Amino acid sequence: MNKVMIKATGPFERIVHWCLAISCLILCASGMVMMYHSLQGFGTLVGGMAAVKTIHNYSGVFFAVSLFLALLVWWKEAGMFSSPEDWQWFKVAGGYLWKVDQMPEIGKYNPGQKLFFLTIVIFGTGMVVSGFFMWFPLGYEPGLIRFMYVLHALGFVIIFAFFWVHLYLVTLGAPGSASAMFTGWVSKGWARTQHPKWLREMEEKGTLVVYGKKGQSGRHC
């Protein structure tokens, strides 16, 4: 590896990301086994449908905690859109759909990532709330519980679809991204292409951490 690698994420960030990701995947899988009858056979793998339900419910708790931590970690950087570069980014569809000569100056998170984050926050919260009511539905207005079923299903439609967008971009769509959530290091070229404003700001502030460069610690959160 001869590319210049720079520090993109800290260990806590990565742990929170993977807690959220793994719980979300378990929830999607177990939820689908309960939603689609043709997948019921997979329930046998974990000891039957009752176990699937138990796994789903407790993964939901794990997800809720992860979601809360994710909110703390990323709210400042990904929770708000910044003008005007984010709107310009939308106008050129992030450079993903057609050739763009001048890409807008994007910070640490591009508006697509922000949109993904906000979707997870909003619908994830919806999933946690509706899931809680579905877990303990007795004693509430039937109309309320039925609304929670619809909300839960809607949240699944959105989150599951977005998951595939996320997976595609991080693997095939935007090569070089995935390492940010594995090792925490990304190449400088990648940062310049994807998040030029973020790179420039770090260079200006002197917070840029380059792998292997003397006098700089490789750790920061």
Footprint of another protein (CB under 8 A)? 1-4, 32, 34-37, 40, 43, 49-50, 52-53, 95-98, 134, 137-138, 142-143, 145-147, 149-150, 153-154, 156-158, 160-165, 168, 172-176, 187-194, 210, 213
Report the 10 Å Cβ neighbour count for 191: 22
Under 8 Å between Cβ of 221 and 129: no
Calculate helix-pair angle for 49-78, 11-35, nearest 10 degrees. 140
Whichever of 18 and 149 has its CB closer to another protein, that residue is 149
Q: Which residues contact 140 (CB under 8 A, 6 or more apart)?
A: 133
Long-range Cβ contact pairs of 53-58 (< 8 A, separation 24 or more): 55/26, 55/30, 56/26, 56/27, 56/30, 56/31, 57/131, 57/135
Q: Please identify, using beta-carbon distances, which residue of 34 and 65 lies nearer to another protein.
A: 34
Closer to another protein by Cβ: residue 15 or 44: 44
At closest approach, how far in Å is the CB of 69 from another protein? 26
Q: Take residue 135 and report the two structure tokens written for it.
A: 């877990």
Tokens for 126? 């919806």
Q: How far apart are CA 28 and CA 24, in angstroms?
A: 6
Cα dihedral sign for 78, 156, 38, 19? Answer: positive
How long is the chain?
Answer: 221
Q: How far is the CB of 148 from another protein (least distance, A)?
A: 9
Nearer to another protein, 80 or 161 (CB): 161
Nearer to another protein, 15 or 161 (CB): 161
Q: How far is the CB of 193 from another protein (least distance, A)?
A: 4
Cis peptide before 196 (omega within 30 of 0): no
CB of 1 to another protein, least distance (A): 7
From the CB of 86, what's the least distance to another protein, in Å? 17
Nearest distance from C-beta of residue 165 to another protein, angstroms: 6
Closest CB to another protein among residues 71, 165: 165
